Structure 1
């Protein structure tokens, strides 16, 4: 039985090494930054819909815009509620010893999760078939030391076998 466990661990190590090599030599991801005027806990109220030239020939501009518009509609629905709770939390912060900020933190986490689920749906629907992968990532802002959430589109051959296994 112990021999079987060793073989299984060796296979996992080999797969992990192959993934690391593919990620190492894959091109830099296309980063789509927030372009809105309101940001709550690093999440902007909308993302840039302009088609990046580096994606020419990999995905149709209409598909790219449709994906970004779906994410933007999710943000448009959820972020105003987060802003209201943030203002309420800030006003009551002294009286509640900071506990009034918990609802806004939980709502922000829920918004991020819904965007991640939406991006995963987009990946399964189209982008994995094109060897692309959407991800919501935290990055350092270009203008200051703050962190922001951006969507990245990574070109990789890692996602092709995953899609073929599901079919």
Structure 2
């Protein structure tokens, strides 16, 4: 027992032990909104062009079908939001901003619906392929404090089976 302690007592020996790196971090694929209008950072449509970096990992038809599902959810939830926004802006001065509350609720409902759709897609297909969809808020470059919602397609880390726990 004391032999094991004597071997690891010096700091040089601890640094010499192999460090375990579970995975190399791969940058996610960012899919930005390309819709005609954006309300509170959420675009009315996402681009369904197949990224070249996914070649060999995913079929283009599966990618396009997923983005079309998300666009359908956006179309369903964004319908009529322009009128709510117009009414909210018109009455904003009279109501001290409270007239924008319905728009904020509709926006959070749309975000929730998109996240549920992405969770379903992840469970059915993408997690099995080592991929993971996520809706994320990102700051717009060169725009100060403005943010937008983007779709991120991340690669899940693969743990090596030959490394001990």
| TM category, shorter | 0.7 to 0.9
Partner of 2:154: 154
Say how many residue pairs are matched: 138
Shift of 1:158: 6.2
Partner of 1:53: 52
- The runs of at least 4 aligned residues of structure 1 exceeding 2 Å deviation read 80-83, 142-145
Q: Distance in 2 between matches of 1:65 and 1:123?
A: 15
TM-score, normalised to structure 1's length?
A: 0.78
Alignment of 1:138 with 2:148, yes or no, is: no
Higher gyration radius (CA): 2
Alignment of 1:70 with 2:42, yes or no, is: no
TM-score, normalised to structure 2's length?
A: 0.79
RMSD of aligned residue pairs (Cα, Å): 1.7
Q: Distance in 2 between matches of 1:22 and 1:45?
A: 38
Contact 1:50 1:65 in 2 (8 A): yes
Give a deviation string over 1:38-92, Cα, whole Å, max 9, x none.
Answer: 0000000000110000111111000000000000011111113222211110011
SS at match of 2:48: coil
5+ residue gaps, structure 1: 1-20, 160-167
More helix by share: 1
